[in-house]
Amino acid sequence: MAIENISTSEIVIGCIIRRADGDKALRAVHEAFHLDRDGTVGAG
């Protein structure tokens, strides 16, 4: 997946990605921060 833009501050990291990569990106973030404990991940 390609990151189009990244914005950061002291407490926030924001990324712009292609809509088609949304679910894949969400899963990657959940895995990286151990938020995937119940196994349900979806962008909407």
Q: pTM for this one?
A: 0.60
Q: Tell which wins on pLDDT, 35 or 42.
A: 35
Distance CA 22, CA 12 (A): 18
Is 37's pLDDT higher than 80? no
Q: Name the DSSP letter for residue 3.
A: E
Helix (H) or strand (E) run with residue 33 in it: none
Residues 2-26: tens digit of each pLDDT = 888 989 999 988 999 999 999 999 9
